[in-house]
Amino acid sequence: MDGADRARVLATMFAGKEAVVKALNLADRTFSWRDIEVLPHQGGKAVVNLRGSLGGANAGSAGPVICLALACAGDLVLALAVVQS
């Protein structure tokens, strides 16, 4: 993977994290960006894992199901997160 491809992948994953922050309404909450993990999955689907303070927010439950759509075209990235309680 060359530098441009790596930058594109990182930008796409970070856009996914931003979409999750907005979908969970975390703008006024202190959290670590490392607590939101966006991973590629088979078939191009993205998977979101919440860890640390975000993962422990729903102690005793599986937490919210987050559906994440990511798209990249040239220099543009699109991320959409939907939360199911």
pLDDT for position 27 = 84
22, pLDDT greater than 80: yes
**Domains defined for the chain, CATH in brackets:** 3-84 (3.90.470.20)
CA distance 79 to 12: 8
31 CB neighbour count, 10 Å cutoff: 15
Would you say residue 68 has pLDDT above 90? yes
Kindly report the average pLDDT of the chain as a whole number: 86
**pLDDT cut 70: percent of the chain above it:** 92
Binning pLDDT at 50, 70 and 90, where does residue 59 land?
very low
Does 62 score more than 80 pLDDT?
no
pLDDT of residue 70 exceeding 90: yes
